[in-house]
Structure 1
C-alpha cells in the first residue's frame, strides 16, 4: 500500500514539475518560440479557441513568429487576441500571414520575467507540498486504521519527504536554468 501511495505521489509531483516547465515555456525570453502564442485564446465565432486550432504557427527565425490562419475571417480576431495577451507583442498582418517580431528584452523586463519565473517556481513548490501533505495524511489514516504499523508509517513519511526534496531540487534547477536563459543577452 505504501508503494502505491508513493507511486501516486510521484505521478502527481511529476505533473507539478511538468506544469512548471509549461509555464516557463510561455515566458518570453527574447527568442521566438511557438509556445508563446499557441495557448492564446481567440474569440472565434463566439467560442474561445486556441490559436493552434485556427492557424499554423511557425518560427522562421529566432526573432519572428508567423501565424497563418486557415480561415481568412480569423485574421482580425487573432490579432486582437495577441494584443490582449500580456506578452507585449505587436502582430503585423499582410493579408496572408500574421508576423510577430520579438523585440530584444530590456534589462527591466528581464528582471520582471525572472520575478514571474520565481513565482511560477514557488507555485510549483506549493503544489509539491500539498501532495506531500496528502500522502502523509493517507499514511496516518492507514496507521490509524491498523492497516500498517507505526514504523511503516514513519518510514513511509521519510520516503515521502525524500521524494518531495528531490522534486523541490528539480524545480530549483529548472528555475536556475530559466533565469540564466532570461538574463542571457
Structure 2
C-alpha cells in the first residue's frame, strides 16, 4: 500500500476516534441542559425501537431544563418510560403536551465521578489512536520489507506517523481538559 494512502487512512481513522470521544463527552451530564443527554435514548414506538430524536422534538428552553414535544401525542407514555429506563438521573414531568426534564445541580461527589468517566473515555480514545498508529507503522514496515520504499523513507514515514498521532492525542487531551472544567464548574 502506498505510504500516502496509509497516512490518509490513518488520519481519517484517528479523526473518527477523536470525534467518537467528543461525542461520548457530550453525553456526560454537566449540570447544564443538553440535548445530547437524551437524544439517543431508545424509545419503543410503532412496533420498533427508535432514538428519541426520531419520535419527538427536543429543545432546551433554559440551562436547567429540557423540553420534549412528541410528534405523536400517543407516544407520551412510551417516551416517559424510555427516559426512566435509560437511567440518566432525570425524572420526566408530563403536562399532556410536553415532557419536561429538570436538570438538578450536581453534587461534588457526582462531579468527581463524571471527571473519572471522562478520563476513562479519553484514555480509551488515546488507546484507539495508538492502535491506529501501530497498524499504520506495520503497513509502512510491510512496504519497506517488500522493497517498495527505502529504509530512510520508512524512518521519515514513521516519524510523520508519530507527529500525526501526537496531534490527535493532544486534541483528545484538550477536549478532556475542557470537559473537566465544564463538569467541575458550579
Give TM-score, length-normalised by structure 2. 0.96
Aligned to 2:176: 175
* Correspondence 1:143 to 2:124: no
**1:147 Cα deviation from its structure 2 partner:** 1.1
Q: In the comparison of the two structures, how many residue pairs are matched?
A: 185
Other-structure match for 1:59: 60
In structure 2, what is the equivalent of residue 131 of structure 1? 132
Query: Structure 2 CA distance, aligned partners of 1:70 and 1:45?
Result: 12
1:148-159 alignment, distance < 5 Å: 148-159=149-160
Q: Matched residue of 2:38: which SS? A: helix
User: Structure 2: how far apart are the matches of 1:86 and 1:133?
Assistant: 37
Where does the alignment leave 5 or more consecutive residues of structure 1 unmatched?
none
Deviations 1:48-89 (A, max 9, x none): 100110010011000010000011221111111111113111
Q: What do residues 86-116 of structure 1 show as CA deviations (whole Å, max 9, x unaligned)?
A: 3111111111000000000000110110011
Shift of 1:117: 0.4
**In 2, Cα distance between equivalents of 1:115 and 1:45:** 38
- Specify the alignment match of 2:100 in structure 1: 99
Q: Which residue of 2 aligns with 1:118?
A: 119
1:3 is displaced (CA, Å) by: 2.2
SS at structure 2 position matched to 1:22: helix
SS in 2 for 1:48: strand
Q: Deviations over 1:101-137 (max 9, x none)?
A: 0000000110110011011101100110111011011
Residue equivalent to 1:11: 12
Deviation of the 1:151 alpha carbon: 1.3
Q: Where does residue 71 of structure 2 map in the other structure?
A: 70
Partners in 1 of 2:137 and 2:64 — Cα distance?
47
C-alpha displacement at 1:148, in angstroms? 1.0
Uncovered stretches (5+) of structure 2, i.e. residues with no partner = none
Alignment partners' CA distance in 1, 2:76 and 2:146: 61
Match of 2:48 in 1: 47
- CA displacement at 1:6 relative to structure 2: 1.1
Distance 1:47 1:130 in 2: 36
- CA offset at residue 47 of structure 1? 1.3
